[in-house]
Amino acid sequence: MNGKSLNERAAIFQLIIDTTESKSQGFTYQYDFVVEPYKPINKKMFFDNFAATRRGEPFPNAPYIDGNHINSIGLRIIGRADKDNNIFQKGLYGLQLFNIKNCNR
């Protein structure tokens, strides 16, 4: 994923993946990442690093992500505060996204 932060403060974003299997079983795959203020973003996000969750709880029986069965991807900002990294999120945030590509194909 390549882009640029438009934020005045650090922010935690989440890349969300839905697959055929996740839709039918009611869970999603997610990957959290920190974006630094006004910095370029060049993230490699491997399927192994995505966590499967259902309603905010871990979903340990999720199958491995099959890139051929991805139905949708989404990007969202996390609303919760991250006290470990001293990030408290409120107000406006922006992210200029250049591309997201699957390098596994």
- What are the pLDDT digits (tens) for 78-97? 766 565 666 666 667 788 88
Q: The tokens of 6 are what?
A: 């438009």
First to last CA, the chain: 15
pTM (2 decimals)? 0.80
Whether 59 and 27 have beta carbons less than 8 Å apart is answered as yes
Average pLDDT for 59-67:
91
Strand partners, 12: 34
Question: For residue 17, how many other CB atoms are within 10 A of its CB?
Answer: 21
Average pLDDT for 23-44:
91
Q: Alpha carbon 55 to chain centroid distance?
A: 15
Query: Ramachandran region of residue 93, left (φ > 0), alpha (ψ -120 to 50) or beta?
Result: beta
Using pLDDT thresholds of 50, 70 and 90, give the confidence band for residue 103: low
